[in-house]
């Protein structure tokens, strides 16, 4: 069972998430927090595998809570929730260590899928958010390529670019003509060498450091194939 903790200062949202996720056969909702401080305290006691948390909450906001959650041992995978895809705190949540985010008014099916994806070590961003919007957050503070990029092999750099386009391990394996197991190893090495906590942070890193832009053609896009 995947142990899940939800946090939102609105009772209707908390109850709705708990009911929605609790109906899934492989998910156990182990608690619901009313704010960031309550969330961190509950996480320490209940030790969830995955946390879904609102970004804007009283006492301690979601971004501050995420920073504390990812510092726990073991740390839960954190999914940020927001009402609007233009939430000014979204980029802060991703930088703090969230593995993805969902819009509260998004497709119900996405919530369970995001929990399973996060538990498996992946990340999910609500598809209602366009690549250009993600790129805008990723380039809020553009930086030149760092010396840490020199630690990557050519193949690891290719994998990082694929992560920048949001591809799954299976799709990266197909594009690079290697096995999914090999891709998994490359992804783990990329994250370790760059000091990143997950795939979403790797995608943001790729954009912020100029490895690709959304003007680049995605190799998985048929329109970009010759």
> What is the per-residue pLDDT for 133?
54
The predicted-structure confidence for 119-145, as pLDDT tens digits, reads as follows 988 777 776 665 555 566 555 655 565
Alpha carbons within 13 angstroms on the beta-carbon side of residue 124 total 25
What phi, psi does 167 have (nearest 5°)?
-75, 150
Alpha carbons within 13 angstroms on the beta-carbon side of residue 21 total 28
Q: What angle do CA 199, 203, 205 make, to 5 degrees?
A: 110
Contact 203, 166 (CB under 8 A): yes
DSSP string, 18-30: HHHHHTSTTEEEE
Q: What angle do CA 193, 196, 198 make, to 5 degrees?
A: 120
CA distance 136 to 206: 13
Contact 193, 127 (CB under 8 A): no
**What mean pLDDT is reported for the chain?**
83
Contact 53, 78 (CB under 8 A): yes
pLDDT > 70 fraction of the chain, expressed in percent and rounded? 82
CA distance 74 to 89: 25
The domains of the chain, with CATH numbers, are 2-129 (3.40.50.2300), 138-224 (3.40.50.2300)
Collapsing DSSP to helix, strand or coil, 3 comes out as strand
CA distance 198 to 22: 26
Average pLDDT over residues 85-102: 74
Residue 217 pLDDT > 80 = no
């Amino acid at each position: 069972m995947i142990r899940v903790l939800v946090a939102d200062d609105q009772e209707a949202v908390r109850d709705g998430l708990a009911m929605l996720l609790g109906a899934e056969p492989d998910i156990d909702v182990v608690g619901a927090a009313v704010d960031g401080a309550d969330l961190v305290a509950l996480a320490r006691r209940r030790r969830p595998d995955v946390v879904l948390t609102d970004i804007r909450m009283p006492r301690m906001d979601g971004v501050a809570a995420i920073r504390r959650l990812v510092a726990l041992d073991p740390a839960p995978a954190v999914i940020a929730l927001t009402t609007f895809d233009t939430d000014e705190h979204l980029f802060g949540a991703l930088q703090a260590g969230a593995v993805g985010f969902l819009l509260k008014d998004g497709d119900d099916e996405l919530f369970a899928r995001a929990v399973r994806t996060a538990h498996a070590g992946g990340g999910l961003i609500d598809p209602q958010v366009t690549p250009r919007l993600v790129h805008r957050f990723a380039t809020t503070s553009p930086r030149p390529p760092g010396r840490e990029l020199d630690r990557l092999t050519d193949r690891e750099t290719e994998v990082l670019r694929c992560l920048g386009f949001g591809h799954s391990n299976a799709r990266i394996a197909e594009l690079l003509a290697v096995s999914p197991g090999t891709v998994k190893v490359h992804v783990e090495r990329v994250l370790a060498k760059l000091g990143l906590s997950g795939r979403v942070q790797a995608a943001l890193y790729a954009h912020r450091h100029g490895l690709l832009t959304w003007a680049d053609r995605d190799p998985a896009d048929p329109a970009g194939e010759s």
